[in-house]
Structure 1
């Protein structure tokens, strides 16, 4: 038997407040993400998923297995493969077989890929600073600590 959700008026105040918080977090995240997508397209003719792949590879200069890259980015292998294929064809990423194993590939940035990512990352940091400029340093640190604490409460749950 499935029980019907409580009407909003029957929810405790803390529950209502948490729901409002979730909606505000989601709205803020979506608004910022939409702006970043537009700026990446306009200034670098790229997409946010490509930026994310480049960022992950930049953090791992020794390279990453394709399966580790997709797990890190929380996307399917198929999504990553298409992006990597295009980045390889543009000379931004190298793909190599792992110790002759035809089933696994290691990917890493080329020098051109690293240079392009550094330029995008610098712009990205400036955009984030601009978009979140109304948040004080103290509030930034407090919110970051709160979100880290929240995340640690949920890590490992599947």
Structure 2
């Protein structure tokens, strides 16, 4: 015999519960994201992708190339370009051609973009706090520890 179980692969007894946990996590994430999308649209006339681009640029104040921005956001260059085009039109970001490679363009927040983003970020944080206001400090500590443990790759 080649070591295969004739009844098929044996599943971990926790596999069904892990699957249900995953579906529950996706549901919580999607629900929170939908609330944030609606909050940004209604209260700030903006979108979550615009917020995400501005957040990435706020974290990298010196600016990034368009390719780096796409990688940071896990989106295509085309998607990043579309959002950056609109932000540039609104005066919130600026593009600067590279002095060493004409195919490369750096993008960064303008002073106005920095000011607008910091206001958005404060309201975004407050809205997230409202979304999860039923999660107390002990829950946060436990969830954080669990998620950190889940994020580690098995060796």
Q: What is the distance in 2 between the residues matched to 1:143 and 1:59?
A: 25
Structure label with greater radius of gyration: 2
> After superposition, where does 1:1-158 map in structure 2 within 5 Å?
12-153=12-153
Q: TM-score, normalised by structure 1?
A: 0.87
What is the CA RMSD across the aligned residues, in angstroms? 1.6
What is the deviation of 1:100? 4.2
Q: Deviations over 1:71-107 (max 9, x none)?
A: 0110001000011011111100010012242211111
Secondary structure class of the residue paired with 1:95: strand
Runs ≥4 residues deviating over 4 A: none
What is the deviation of 1:148? 2.2
Q: What is the distance in 2 between the residues matched to 1:149 and 1:69?
A: 28
What is the deviation of 1:12? 4.7
Q: What is the distance in 1 between the residues matched to 2:141 and 2:105?
A: 39
